[in-house]
Amino acid sequence: MSSSTDAFRKDRTSARSYEWGLDSGQVVAEAPVAIFAIVILVALLLQPAIVLYDKVVIANAAAESCRLLVTDMEYSQGSNHSGNVDSFVKRRLAGIPDNEYFMAEDPVITKTGGSDSKSIKVTISVKLRPLPIYDIAARGIGATGADGLIEVKSTAQTWPREPSDVSGPWTGTPAK
């Protein structure tokens, strides 16, 4: 009976070692390394994602404010209400979280052109603080200014139409 018991134990031991693996302790040692690598990877992708998010919001705000200035100019016979554009832009930039890593300072809004020019250009610029993991590298490659902030800038430009160019079913005149 002793040989059958030994054979039974041998079969159970080999099955257990196959099921759990003989090197299962190595997985426990490698897990912190893998988790650390994943955390570093996510941290390295976070700063470009923040800059891209800011760039998208700023570009949309610049384009919308540029369209607002053109529409205002076309339908109010040249009276320029660009003072309202600043509040319009700030409302659009409210989509950026109120955090220094997204927007450290108030936005700089520059409008050029008007009722007497051929084009209207709106430039919006915001500055954000780099994440600590990027701070030294950003300063080293010159991605930050003297104040240590990264500048994200977007410009939109459009050309107003002459009232005689507007045609279609809503104006009562046939298209050219």
- According to the model, what pLDDT value does residue 60 have? 95
Q: Which two tokens stand for residue 37?
A: 């690598």
Backbone region of residue 55 per phi and psi (left: phi > 0; alpha: psi in -120 to 50; beta: other values): alpha
| pTM of the predicted model as reported, rounded to 2 decimal places | 0.69
Instruction: Let me know if residue 53 belongs to a domain.
Output: yes
- According to the model, what pLDDT value does residue 71 have? 76
Instruction: Let me know if residue 11 belongs to a domain.
Output: no
Inter-residue contact 107 to 90 (CB < 8 Å): yes
Instruction: Let me know if residue 3 belongs to a domain.
Output: no
Strands (E), the chain: 108-112, 120-128, 150-158
Instruction: Let me know if residue 19 belongs to a domain.
Output: no
- According to the model, what pLDDT value does residue 13 have? 53
pLDDT along the chain (176 residues), means of 10: 58 53 64 89 90 95 88 58 77 90 91 75 93 85 88 88 54 52
For the chain, what is the domain count?
1
Instruction: Let me know if residue 132 belongs to a domain.
Output: yes
- According to the model, what pLDDT value does residue 63 have? 92
- According to the model, what pLDDT value does residue 114 have? 66
Instruction: Let me know if residue 174 belongs to a domain.
Output: no
Q: What is the pLDDT of residues 37-47, one digit of tens each?
A: 999 888 889 99
Q: What is the pLDDT of residues 4-16, one digit of tens each?
A: 666 555 555 555 5
Q: Which residues contact 51 (CB under 8 A, 6 or more apart)?
A: 128, 150, 152
Instruction: Let me know if residue 176 belongs to a domain.
Output: no
Instruction: Let me know if residue 131 belongs to a domain.
Output: yes
Segments forming the whole domain that contains residue 67: 28-160
DSSP-derived 3-state class of residue 126: strand
